[in-house]
């Protein structure tokens, strides 16, 4: 059993980056075809807006922002799979954000009966940026 108190977040991010395959690049430059049943769009064609994500994904991102004292997240990649097969992919040629700026949020729901298995996973990837603090000019004192 995995002890959540011993998880190494940096190693998880590194493993994610090692295993990541940019499906946009694969399907447009290597295979030169999008598999049947998959919708592929770029973030320019279909922007990844947080308000369009499922409530679970929005809540996770919101909680992260609160714990970090406020950050900006720019969502750059989205994928929805059913039983491990991509159905919807939104991404372009850009690589993943650098290790210290990457955020990934996902959720999986499973339907299981004696006649059917349906595992749906949504994954969204973004880049975290600290909020720019407005610098205030020094206070003027009256002489």
Domain of 21 in residue numbering reads as 4-130
Q: pLDDT tens digits, residue range 70-116? A: 899 999 999 999 999 999 999 999 999 999 999 999 999 999 999 99
Asked whether residue 143 is assigned to any structural domain, the reply reads no
111: in domain: yes
Please name the residues in contact with 87: beta carbons below 8 A apart, sequence gap of 6 or more. Answer: 37, 38, 39, 80, 81
Q: Report if residue 136 sits inside a domain.
A: no
Residue 98 lies in a domain: yes
Output the average pLDDT for the chain: 90
Label the pairing between strands 117-130 and 39-41: unpaired
Helices (H) and strands (E) in the chain, counts: 3, 5
Domain count within the chain = 1
Answer whether 48's CB lies under 8 Å from 103's CB. Answer: no
Q: 20 — alpha (psi -120 to 50), left (phi > 0) or beta?
A: beta
Q: What are phi and psi for residue 127, nearest 5 degrees?
A: -120, 130
pTM as predicted = 0.84
Q: Kindly state whether residue 67 falls inside one of the protein's structural domains.
A: yes
């Amino acid at each position: 059993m995995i002890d959540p108190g011993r998880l190494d977040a940096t190693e998880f991010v590194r493993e994610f980056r090692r295993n990541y395959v940019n499906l946009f690049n694969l399907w447009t430059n290597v295979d030169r075809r999008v598999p049947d049943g998959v919708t592929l769009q770029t973030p320019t064609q279909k922007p990844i807006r947080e308000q369009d994500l499922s409530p679970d994904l929005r809540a996770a991102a919101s909680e992260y922002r609160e714990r970090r004292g406020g950050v900006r997240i720019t969502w750059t990649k989205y994928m929805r799979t059913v039983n491990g097969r991509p159905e919807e992919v939104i991404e372009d040629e850009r690589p993943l954000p650098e290790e210290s700026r990457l955020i990934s949020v996902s959720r999986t729901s499973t339907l299981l009966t004696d006649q059917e298995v349906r595992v749906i996973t949504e994954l969204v990837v973004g880049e975290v940026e600290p909020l720019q603090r407005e610098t205030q000019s020094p206070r003027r004192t009256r002489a």
